[in-house]
Structures are given as structure tokens and as C-alpha cells.
Amino acid sequence: MIRPADSSVAPYGGDLARFQDAFAVALLTPQPAAGGELARLVAQPGFAVYRNTVMKGCIDALQANYPAVSRLVGDEWFRAAAAVYARAKLPVHPSLLDYGADFSEFLSGFAPAAELPYLADVARLDRFWTEAHAARDEQPVSASAVASLSRDELGCTALRPHASARWVWFAEWPAYTLWRRSRAAADEVAAAESPIEWRAEGALVLRPHASVEHLALDAAGCAFLDACAAGRDLATAALEALAREPRADLAQLMQRLLEAGAFGAMAALEHGPEERTK
């Protein structure tokens, strides 16, 4: 075991905190400057075991948290990219479920991923799955509760998205389809799926009950949820959805969202419909 009292790390003078800080830095420094304190640490017998254990743990955690990305690029490519990420960012929380929260942003600026511009968005959906999985439990608003509202009540009622709900619109590529198929078993995709149509699409990921669920969402659906998240009443949210997609079927959209459990609370607002235009 390496200890701060060892002769080769004597410059720390028994300062455990300083030794621990240096040890953490040395774990991620491939080639410390010769003759320096980090070099003396790295030269200790068995240090490579610590370094390899830390790196493997980080890479394994990232691969577990981003399964769709890993399947798209392959094990070797993913683990090489994860090693680059891990050298720059160690876990900051005890639970490795939180590790790599910004891995999507990392991939968007990672040069070897430049030829896969959709990869960062696939990673974003992997992260949505984790966040939905870890979100607090909440009973979804039922379709019957909304159906019981009168026309006037609809104009001054707001629906808050479910605590687990995460949604996004991809304007350039079918990131949701790529993600969904990458998370599914290969034989299921081969047996049931047609070729991918390269077009814009959206996605909703949530956990209304025991397990994480997801569904495709059009531009109007994303705009509607954006409006609900901003506290807009249902009438205004509907108008914003139509502004995004004039031919949207709002009744069908509302039915899909309610059946999916997309809302966690319903509240009456203090203003009436006439006040929205002031």
C-alpha cells in the first residue's frame, strides 16, 4: 500500500489531505514530469493497479449509463472515448448513476465523433432514461380528470409535466429512432423494423409508473409540453402547439400524452381566458 509516510513521498510531510489530492491527480496524469512529486508517486510499486482500477470503474459506469451510444459505435470506440472523458472528469457523487451527466456535451465536441453528428443527441436520450429512472414517484393526471373540465375551465387550467418527463425535438436527424433501436435487442429490430427514414423527430421519455417508457413525439407535442412546463394554461399551450404545427390534431395529441402519463399535476390558474390577451 502507498502511504504518505513512505520515503518516496516524504515531501508531503505527513499531510494526508495534500497527499490524497496529489494521489488523485497522479491517477489521471499519464506521464508526470520527471523528478516531480507526481512522478515519485507514480513510480511506487502497485500504483498502476490503482490507476487501472479507477479508469476501468469510470469507463464501466459510462458504458452502463450510455448503452445506446456504446452499441452504435462499438465497444472499442466507446471505451476509448470514455477514457478521454474520465481523465478529465472523475465522479463527484457516490452514486455512479450520476456519472457522465454531461457526456452528451463532451461527444458534441469530441473530434473523433464529428462524422457521427447525431451521437450527442443519442447520448442525450440515454441520459433522459437515467433521469427518468431516478426521478421521484408521482401519480399521473388521469384522462378522466381532464375530460371532466368544462370549456371555460380548460381556458384557466394548467397541466404540469410529470416529474420524470423529459422531451426533446431533433430538427436534423432521427435520433430517437436510432436510440430506440440501439437499446432494443438486435433480433427484435431485425424482425420488426423497417429501414430508418432520415427526418426530424421528437421523443418523450418518462416513468409514470414502475418502469421507464418512451414514445415518439411530433413538433406540436414538444411545443405543447414546453408551454405546460412554462406554466401556460391549456388553451395557450394548444395555440403554441398549433403555431409550431398548424395541422396538428390536438385532441389526439392530448389523448396520447394523457395515456402516456405525461402530466403530474393539474391546477386552476387565477386568470381567465380574457386576461391572456392583455
State pLDDT tens for residues 110-139: 999 999 999 999 999 999 999 999 999 999
Is residue 277 pLDDT above 60, yes or no? no
Structural domain includes residue 1 = no
Predicted confidence (pLDDT) at residue 186 exceeds the cutoff of 60: no
Strand-pairing partners, residue 270, are none
| 194 and 160 housed in the same domain | yes
Tell which of 73, 93, 118 closes a domain: 118
Q: How many domains does the chain divide into? A: 2
Contact 57, 89 (CB under 8 A): no
On whether both 199 and 150 belong to a single domain, the answer is yes
- Are residues 83 and 17 part of one domain? yes
What whole-number distance in Å separates Cα of residue 88 and Cα of residue 225? 35
Q: Check pLDDT > 50 for residue 275.
A: no
Q: Rounded distance, CA 123 to CA 120, Å?
A: 5
Q: Which range in 19-23, 33-37, 41-45, 204-208 is most confidently predicted, on average pLDDT? A: 204-208
For the beta carbon of residue 212, count every other beta carbon within 10 angstroms. Answer: 19
More confident residue, 31 or 147: 147
Q: Are residues 158 and 189 in the same domain?
A: yes
Q: What angle do CA 127, 133, 138 make, to 5 degrees?
A: 130
Task: Give the whole-number percent of the chain exceeding pLDDT 70.
Answer: 84
Q: Which one, of 213, 224, 209, lies nearest residue 255 by Cα? A: 224
Its pTM stands at: 0.83
226 has pLDDT over 90 = yes
Write out the residue range of the structural domain in which residue 91 sits: 7-118
The average confidence (pLDDT) of the chain is 87
- Last residue of a domain, which of 92, 118, 144? 118
